[in-house]
Amino acid sequence: MQRVGFILKVKQDRLEEYKRRHTEVWPEMLQALTETGWHNYSLFMREDGLLFGYLETPDFERAKAEMARRDVNARWQAEMAPFFESLTGRPDEAMMPLEEVFHLD
């Protein structure tokens, strides 16, 4: 299982709405994530909007590609894009994996 961490930056004036939206993730989006191999997917955010995401998947590039083919993902990404700083394109396209430097088994 591949462990993936990534960071993005949520705009300061959109933090509360971003958090609220993630308490109401569409059921079809949750189903698509599960079906395409996104496991233990979590988002953590600092007060300044720095967002750390973590997930486990057999193949991150494949999981992203399979989600990219889903209509629900296109709709979700379009709605989420305005929440982020320094973003060109969709938020899921900006998820660049961080290098894992330690893992305690």
Do 32 and 72 meet the contact criterion of CB atoms below 8 Å apart? yes
Given a cut of 90, whether residue 81 has pLDDT beyond it is yes
Q: What is the pLDDT of residue 92?
A: 86
Catalytic residue among 19, 22, 39, 46: 22
CATH of domain 2-87: 3.30.70.100
Q: What is the pLDDT of residue 86?
A: 82
Dist CA 33 CA 86 (whole Å): 25
Q: What is the pLDDT of residue 87?
A: 79
Q: What is the pLDDT of residue 89?
A: 78
| Residue 22 falls in the annotated catalytic set | yes
Dist CA 27 CA 87 (whole Å): 26
| Entry pTM | 0.91
Boundaries of every domain in the chain:
2-87
Q: Tell me the per-residue pLDDT of 6-58, one tens digit each, with 9 for 90 and over.
A: 999 999 999 999 999 999 999 999 999 999 999 999 999 999 999 999 999 99
